[in-house]
Amino acid sequence: MALVKNGHGLTALADFVVHEDIMNGHLQPVLQDYHLKPLGVCAVYPHREHLPPKVRIFMEFLTKHCDQAQWAIPREHVEGVSSLSR
């Protein structure tokens, strides 16, 4: 990211990662007509059986936060999306 901020290249990062830097002028959007395929947020854990409570709570937090985030893409537009409730 430091190289990009210093004018030494391009990057393709999620809007929520670069939003603040764009707003304060550290980064400038380019190729705005080019859109990458939407991706979801993934959390990997061994299995659902005997899931520790703190992991379940964190997964529920991620699901809620990511679904309601300003940068969130509606689930129906992202392939392979699932949640704990499914």
Q: Residue 53: which H helix or E strand, with range?
A: helix 53-68
Sign of the CA dihedral 70, 41, 62, 77? positive
Write down the pTM of the prediction. Answer: 0.49
- pLDDT at position 70 is 61
What residues in the chain have per-residue pLDDT under 70?
Answer: 38-40, 67-86
Nearest to 84 by CA among 49, 59, 64, 50: 59
Which residues lie below 8 Å from residue 64, measured CB to CB, with a gap of 6+?
none
- pLDDT at position 42 is 75
- pLDDT at position 84 is 43
